[in-house]
Amino acid sequence: MSTLETNSIGKYSGNNVSIDDALNLKSYTTAGRDALTSVAGDMIYNSDESKPQIYNGSAWENFGPAGFDVEYVVIAGGGSGGQAQPNGTKGGGGGAGGYRSSVTGENTGGGGSAETPFRAVTGTNYNVSIGAGATPFPKSTATFLDYRTPFLTHSGEFSYFDNITAIGGGTGGIWTNIDGFYGGSGGGSATSANGLGQGGEALKPTQGYAGGDFAGSLGSGGGGGASAAGVDASNNTGGNGGNGQTTSITGSSQTFAGGGGGGGASTAGTGGTGGGGNGASGNSGGSAGTANTGGGGGGSSWVNTSPNGVDGGAGGSGRIILLYPDTYTISQTGLTLTETDRGDGFKYADITQGTGTVSWS
C-alpha cells in the first residue's frame, strides 16, 4: 500500500501560515479552468500556459507582476525600389520593413525566435507609430551628386510600440552611384555589393534579411524580406524579392514584409510574398509595395526614352497588430485602429495608420 503523506501547517499570526513541503496547485487546462464555478481568490495551475493563475472575481490572471501580456507584430515601412539611370541600367528591389514578433511559436524577422511578450498595465498610455513606406528616389540626376542624405530619406520609416521599434526597409540600389542600403531588410543591389539587412547584420533582435546581388548593369538584385534574402540577379534578369513572414496573430494566416523585385533588361524580378512590389523590365517603373504590409518597392528599368531615368516603386506602409486577453478593452488617440474579438479568449487590435497612443481598461 502507498503511504499517506501529509504536510504540517503552522499558524503564526493573523492569516500567515507555513507548510513544510512544496504547495502543489490543482492543474487544469484552459478549457477545464473556464468550466469551473469560481470565486475571487481561487488558484490553479494552468497546464496549457504553464503558469499559476488566480481568479480576481471576473477573470483569471497570471501570478507575477501587475498587468497582462500583449503579443505583438510590429512592421516598419518598406524601402523604395531603386531608380534606373539614363544609361540603360536597372534599379534594385526595395527591402521590406523590419518585422518584429512575440507571437508564440512564430519567428521574428531574419529567422529569429519569438520575442518576449510586452507586459502592459491598465490605465497607462503607450506610444505607437506606423511607419510610412519610402517614396521613390527622385529622377533628377543632380541628386546623384550628393546622394547620401537623400538616399537615407528614401528608406522606409520606423514603426514602434512603446520601446519595440521596427527599422524601415532599405532602398534598392542605383547602378554606378548607390548600392542597396541597410534597413530592417536590405535593398537589392545594382552595383558593387548587396544591401545588408540591418536586423541580421548589426541590430538585435534580428528583423530581416539582406538584399540580392546585381549582375552587371542588366540585372539588379531583389530586396530582402522578413523570412528570406533577396535573390541575386542573373545576366539580364532581375532577382526576386525575399518572401515575407507569415503570422496567425489574428486567427487567420497573413504574410507581411516581402522584398521588392529587382529590375531586369529582359525579365523583371517578382516581389516577395507579403506585399513586395514587382520589378520592371524594358522602360518602366517598378511597382509599389502593398500598403500596410511593409513590402519593398520594385526596382525600375531604363532603355532609351526617359532623359532622367525611371522611378522605382514606393515602399508599402507598416502595420502593428496587438493580441491580449478579451477581458481588456483598448482605446487610442491619433491612430486608425480596429479592435476585434478573436473568439478564443483573446482580442486583437489592428493598427494601420497614425502616430499616437494606446491604453487598456
**pLDDT tens-place string over residues 37-78:** 989 889 999 988 788 888 888 888 877 667 899 999 999 999
Whether residue 211 is contained in a domain is answered as yes
User: Residues with Cβ < 8 Å from 285, sequence gap 6 or more?
Assistant: 81, 136, 300, 310, 311, 312, 313
CA 127 to chain centre: 17
- Number of structural domains, the chain? 2
What is the predicted pLDDT for the residue at 179?
67
Q: Which residue has the higher pLDDT, 12 or 330?
A: 330
269 shares a domain with 159? yes
* pLDDT attached to residue 192: 64
Tell me how far CA of residue 300 lies from CA of 82, 140, 215, in angstroms.
6, 15, 15
| Domain-located, residue 118 | yes
Q: Final residue of a domain: which of 44, 62, 80?
A: 62
Question: Which residues are within 8 A (CB) of 26 and not within 5 positions of it... i.e. 6 or more apart?
Answer: 44, 45
Contact (Cβ atoms closer than 8 angstroms) between residue 129 and residue 355: yes
Q: Mind listing the pLDDT tens digit for each residue in 316-354? A: 999 999 999 999 999 999 999 999 999 999 999 999 999
The verdict on residue 1 lying in a domain is no
Query: Is residue 161 a part of any domain in this protein?
Result: yes
Residue 263, pLDDT > 80, answer yes
Cα–Cα distance between 191 and 215 in angstroms, integer?
A: 8
What's the confidence (pLDDT) of residue 4? 46
Measured over all CA atoms, what is the biggest interatomic distance in the chain, rounded to whole angstroms?
95
d(CA 257, CA 183): 12
**Residue 201 sits in the same domain as residue 229:** yes
Q: pLDDT at residue 254 above 70?
A: yes
Report the DSSP beta bridge partners of residue 237: 234, 267
Across the chain, mean pLDDT equals: 84
List, in sequence order, every residue forming a beta bridge with 341; answer none if it has no partner: 347
Domain that holds residue 120: 66-361
Here the cell at position 358 is 494606446
- CA–CA gap between residue 237 and residue 215 (Å, rounded): 8
pLDDT for the residue 273: 98
| Residues 142, 253 share a domain | yes
Say if residue 245 is in the same domain as residue 125. Answer: yes
CA distance 288 to 271: 10
Band the pLDDT of 302: cuts 50, 70, 90: confident
In a domain, 4, yes or no: no
Does residue 3 form part of some domain? no
In-domain check, residue 341:
yes
93 and 224 fall within a common domain: yes
At 275 the pLDDT is 98
Choose the weakest-confidence range: 21-25, 95-99, 124-128, 297-301.
21-25
Instruction: Report whether 258 contacts 273 (CB < 8 A).
Output: yes
* DSSP reduced 3-state for 98: coil
User: What pLDDT shows up at residue 183?
Assistant: 75
Mean per-residue pLDDT for 7-27? 65
Structure confidence at residue 218 (pLDDT): 79
Q: Do residues 29 and 92 both lie within one domain?
A: no
3-state secondary structure of 54: strand
Residues 105 and 146 in one domain: yes
- Separation of alpha carbons 268 and 218, rounded Å: 10
133 vs 76: CA distance, rounded Å: 8
Query: 100-109, 124-133, 150-159, 267-276 — which is least confidently predicted?
Result: 150-159
Which residue carries 539614363 as its cell?
86
Top-confidence residue, 141 or 257: 257
pTM of the predicted model as reported, rounded to 2 decimal places: 0.80
Residues 109 and 256 in one domain: yes
Strands 68-75 and 319-325: antiparallel
Q: What are phi and psi of 34, to 5 degrees?
A: -70, -20
The per-residue DSSP string of 278-295 comes to: P---SSBPPPPPPTTTTP
Confidence band for 198, pLDDT divided at 50, 70 and 90: low
